[in-house]
Structure 1
Amino acid sequence: MNEQAFFGLSAYHFAMMLVGVGVIAAFWLPRFLSGREPAASALLILFGIAIHWAMPDVWRALDPREVPKLWEVASELAVIVALFGTGIRIDDLAHYRRWRPTVRLLAAAMPLTIAAVALMGWAFAGMTLAGAILLGAVLAPTDPVLAGEVQVGPPTEGDEQPVRFTLTTEAGLNDGLAFPFVYLGLLLGSSGFSAAMLGEWLLVDVFYRIAVGVLGGAAIGWLLARVLFVIPRGNVLADTASGVLSIAGVLFCYGATELAEGYGFIACFVAGIVLRRVEAEHEFHGRLHSFNEAIELALTALLLLLVGATFPRLFGILDWAHAGIALGLIFLVRPIAGWVGLARTGLAARERLFVAFYGIRGVGSIYYLAYAGSHLELVNEGQLWATILLTILLSTIVHGFTAGPIVDHVAKRRAR
């Protein structure tokens, strides 16, 4: 026997052990302090930072500046799974007035957020117009992955008071609706501004891609519903099939819509909503959601550990201007833009304030910056990544540890 190989320390296996321990501890430790479902996102990032300190050389190969495609694919999968699951969760679409706050957040608050972040990037961080718009678009969308505490419950369980409904539907749609502004930043960075470029952007990246995303998602959701609940009569898949079909549906929907040059993020959310409308009370929706949520949580946990393990490498190049952008977004820009956007929507003052403040940032921002990094040579890319990761860390701490109790308080006040 080779004695040198016996009990040899494999960095790969040691990293696997630390990742497993980190995920278990992030979900287990909060239960000593709270009886609620634990808000583990911030702890996952902090454990990732600890793993980096334990094994700094292992994570050098995963630097997002060097392998943006890895980050793009991993975050893309997490987002599309979350968006489809978000659509399935929505029980009640009975009245268009329920959507008024959502529409205002998408049509007013999100563009205001993009503009404000772009202005900060241009004025304080010395960014070009293209880079500033790109940063605004990357940071603008709220996150369907990390916002479980403030969203509606699983299918058929209700719990859809206006605050939860608004934050759920906003997170379901603004990931896709931020994409045109990402494309605008990339176009400005590669070819500069011209009337022809602006016209093409409006025609293709705004109108065409959004329309294909909505129509494609609706068509695929309708088709999936027929396969699962209608055909063949008397022996439908929903009566016996596994929830793994949710992932198959996500991949089919996203791939088909992207092949048609539409926004797959929008399509996955719309497909989930349309699918849910068929046999809306069927217990199979619960199975779809449970399997979908398990995959979503697994992907998210690994991504957040990766965020933490990478953050110390980027923290050293983070300057005060970019750190100020992250702080300004969390504590000023989103609350103000949300408050303005929600004016005269019928929400009570406390509800309006809560929705305005709890615009949780997360995996969607990782995807957009990784996508941009794999399609364009970015200036000061390290500082952009450091800004994104700091924003996610701040959001998981500030929002993650406070959202659950506060949204329960708001709901109880409305019930009374």
Structure 2
Amino acid sequence: MSLAEWALFVGGLMVTMVLAGTLLGRLPLSSAMVYLALGWVLGPDVMNVLRPDPFLHARLLETIAEIALLISLFAVGMQLGVPLRDRRWLLPARLAIGSMALLVGMVTAVGVWLLHLPLGAAILLGAIVAPTDPVLASGVRSEPGARPDRMGFSLAGEGGLNDGTAFPFVMLGLGLLGLGELGPGLMRWWGISLLWATLGGVAIGALLGTGAGRLVVLLRSRHGQAVGLDEFLGLGLIGMAYGLAQICLASGFLAVFAAGLALQRVRERPQAPRAEQEDTPRQARDMQDTVQAFNEQLEKVAELALVLMLGAMLSYAPLPAAGWWFVPLLLLVLRPLSVLAAVPGEGLSRPQRTMIAWFGIRGIGSVFYLLFALRHGIAPRIAETLVSLTLWTVATSIIVHGITAQPLMDRYILWRRRAGRRR
């Protein structure tokens, strides 16, 4: 297609999604389901317009997926108004660390015993399909503010954290396949890939987000400087947090997510002198609202690009026989089991446990780590298995979770209202 034809197609698609947005809200469909179907139609199986071959173009596709993931993590971080020291983060942390580690272990066992994969490849498969997606879970995403619904907040927090906490398991799998350095006795993996990457990423992002936000608010409230270009602030923080974290061998994903969280909290930490404190929160709110609105629009564009690409990539991933049982096993059995093992003692009701266990939506993070693994040169037979199982897991998740999101959320909201009246 020529540039003019692409412009016509993409522009028409965007306008159509705006016009059909209300209709989609009334149907058991999500925008991601529409993009997925269009991507498949544009792919080699039908129109042969999009040809995102993951085996030939892994590096380019990985870069696109990484950019989209960074945008989504920053946008989600800015929607969560709970400080990191708050106890409400305990449940998302348990889901993103404990539950995900258990899921990686169960998928590893399935990979070794039933799929007959080498141990490293089985761990790699588990790490790729374990992260949940905060963008595609927008139908059940937490509402903004300091007092969000616990179910929605936990899912959004889990999705923001586990794209970073999956990285050590990916590196472990690659290392066991001889494609990465683990160090003597796994010391490099424990010290750098696991502990430092996780803690360092959060620390770097939190410091940059807090520092940049406070500096902008201080300059505006006391000196009338640094006014405007709030959109640049969001993009700049994404670039700075990711770049500095990667240079320091920390997790760029956790850094960007933490930067979004920290910038969102600046509004409640006025730094101006007492006489100007009334004006400072307004300056912070204006900055935060502009950055958040801009990043939410970027997030929607990123979702469009990535899910279109995913739909076209399905042509390069014929569904293997194992896919007919692996995908249902992962979504219907292993994900719920991993969640139920992580939530005891959190005081969740049965509807909350059920919703969290079901809505483990797979998406951009899984696609990114798949392409990351392919770029490292894994063996062709293993690569074909990983590509097929991962892409069909994500596609199935988009469809089944997209269909069930609105009906289940309607029931959940009804339950919350009844519970509120009883209290």
Question: TM-score under structure 2 normalisation?
Answer: 0.87
Q: Summarize deviations over 1:95-116 as a string: whole Å, max 9, x none.
A: 7332232232123211111111
**1:6 is matched with which residue?**
none
**1:99 is matched with which residue?**
89
Offset at residue 143 of structure 1 (A): 0.8
| 1:46 maps onto 2:49 in alignment | no
Contact kept, 8 Å, 1:143 with 1:363, in 2: the verdict is yes
Offset at residue 144 of structure 1 (A): 2.1
| 1:306 maps onto 2:309 in alignment | yes
Offset at residue 413 of structure 1 (A): 2.2
What is the letter of the counterpart of residue 267 of structure 1?
A
Contact kept, 8 Å, 2:97 with 2:162, in 1: the verdict is no
SS of the residue corresponding to residue 230 of structure 2 reads coil
CA–CA separation in structure 1 for the residues paired with 2:324 and 2:12: 30
* Residue of 134, 139, 143 corresponding to 2:133: 143
**1:119 is matched with which residue?**
109
- Seen in structure 2, the aligned counterparts of structure 1 residues 400 and 39 have a Cα distance that, compared at 3 Å, is same
Worse-matched range after superposition: 229-238 or 303-312: 229-238
* Residue of 72, 84, 93 corresponding to 1:82: 72
**2:47 is matched with which residue?**
55
Matches within 5 A, 1:387-406: 387-406=389-408
Worse-matched range after superposition: 236-245 or 179-188: 236-245
| 1:263 maps onto 2:278 in alignment | no
CA–CA separation in structure 2 for the residues paired with 1:243 and 1:18: 27
CA–CA separation in structure 1 for the residues paired with 2:4 and 2:295: 28
Offset at residue 359 of structure 1 (A): 0.7
- Seen in structure 2, the aligned counterparts of structure 1 residues 91 and 238 have a Cα distance that, compared at 3 Å, is farther
What is the letter of the counterpart of residue 354 of structure 2?
L
CA–CA separation in structure 2 for the residues paired with 1:27 and 1:122: 46
**2:276 is matched with which residue?**
none
CA–CA separation in structure 2 for the residues paired with 1:185 and 1:274: 32
Offset at residue 133 of structure 1 (A): 0.3
Contact kept, 8 Å, 2:208 with 2:241, in 1: the verdict is yes
Contact kept, 8 Å, 1:30 with 1:39, in 2: the verdict is no
CA–CA separation in structure 1 for the residues paired with 2:24 and 2:249: 47
**2:22 is matched with which residue?**
31
What is the letter of the counterpart of residue 302 of structure 2?
L
Q: Summarize deviations over 1:226-263 as a string: whole Å, max 9, x none.
A: 23212364345675333232112111111111111110
What is the RMSD of the two structures over their aligned residues, measured on CA atoms?
2.5
**2:152 is matched with which residue?**
164
Worse-matched range after superposition: 31-40 or 280-289: 31-40
What is the letter of the counterpart of residue 300 of structure 1?
E
CA–CA separation in structure 1 for the residues paired with 2:217 and 2:324: 50
**2:349 is matched with which residue?**
348
CA–CA separation in structure 2 for the residues paired with 1:283 and 1:365: 34
SS of the residue corresponding to residue 279 of structure 1 reads helix
- Seen in structure 2, the aligned counterparts of structure 1 residues 148 and 191 have a Cα distance that, compared at 3 Å, is closer
Q: Summarize deviations over 1:191-211 as a string: whole Å, max 9, x none.
A: 699881522211111112112
- Seen in structure 2, the aligned counterparts of structure 1 residues 238 and 40 have a Cα distance that, compared at 3 Å, is farther
In structure 2, list runs of 5 or more residues that go unmatched. 269-280
In structure 1, list runs of 5 or more residues that go unmatched. 1-9
Worse-matched range after superposition: 184-193 or 216-225: 184-193
- Seen in structure 2, the aligned counterparts of structure 1 residues 22 and 392 have a Cα distance that, compared at 3 Å, is farther
**1:219 is matched with which residue?**
207
CA–CA separation in structure 2 for the residues paired with 1:194 and 1:288: 39
CA–CA separation in structure 1 for the residues paired with 2:93 and 2:157: 9
- Seen in structure 2, the aligned counterparts of structure 1 residues 194 and 385 have a Cα distance that, compared at 3 Å, is closer
**1:3 is matched with which residue?**
none
Contact kept, 8 Å, 2:65 with 2:367, in 1: the verdict is yes
CA–CA separation in structure 2 for the residues paired with 1:384 and 1:16: 34
Contact kept, 8 Å, 1:244 with 1:292, in 2: the verdict is no
**1:66 is matched with which residue?**
56
Contact kept, 8 Å, 2:104 with 2:126, in 1: the verdict is yes
Worse-matched range after superposition: 115-124 or 229-238: 229-238
What is the letter of the counterpart of residue 79 of structure 2?
R
Contact kept, 8 Å, 1:30 with 1:38, in 2: the verdict is no
CA–CA separation in structure 1 for the residues paired with 2:16 and 2:147: 29
Offset at residue 356 of structure 1 (A): 1.0
**2:277 is matched with which residue?**
none
Contact kept, 8 Å, 1:213 with 1:265, in 2: the verdict is yes
SS of the residue corresponding to residue 341 of structure 1 reads coil
- Seen in structure 2, the aligned counterparts of structure 1 residues 341 and 99 have a Cα distance that, compared at 3 Å, is same
SS of the residue corresponding to residue 59 of structure 1 reads coil
- Seen in structure 2, the aligned counterparts of structure 1 residues 30 and 223 have a Cα distance that, compared at 3 Å, is closer
**1:295 is matched with which residue?**
298
Number of positions where the alignment pairs a residue of Structure 1 with one of Structure 2: 401
Q: Summarize deviations over 1:63-120 as a string: whole Å, max 9, x none.
A: 0111111111111111111111111111233973322322321232111111111122
CA–CA separation in structure 1 for the residues paired with 2:20 and 2:116: 42
* Residue of 363, 383, 386 corresponding to 2:385: 383
**1:335 is matched with which residue?**
336
What is the letter of the counterpart of residue 349 of structure 1?
R
Worse-matched range after superposition: 239-248 or 32-41: 32-41
Offset at residue 175 of structure 1 (A): 0.5
- Seen in structure 2, the aligned counterparts of structure 1 residues 37 and 402 have a Cα distance that, compared at 3 Å, is closer
Worse-matched range after superposition: 134-143 or 244-253: 244-253
CA–CA separation in structure 2 for the residues paired with 1:251 and 1:205: 21
CA–CA separation in structure 1 for the residues paired with 2:376 and 2:163: 19
Question: TM-score under structure 1 normalisation?
Answer: 0.89
Q: Summarize deviations over 1:339-375 as a string: whole Å, max 9, x none.
A: 2211221110110111111011000011111111112
Offset at residue 162 of structure 1 (A): 0.5
What is the letter of the counterpart of residue 23 of structure 2?
F
Contact kept, 8 Å, 1:88 with 1:272, in 2: the verdict is yes
- Seen in structure 2, the aligned counterparts of structure 1 residues 353 and 339 have a Cα distance that, compared at 3 Å, is same
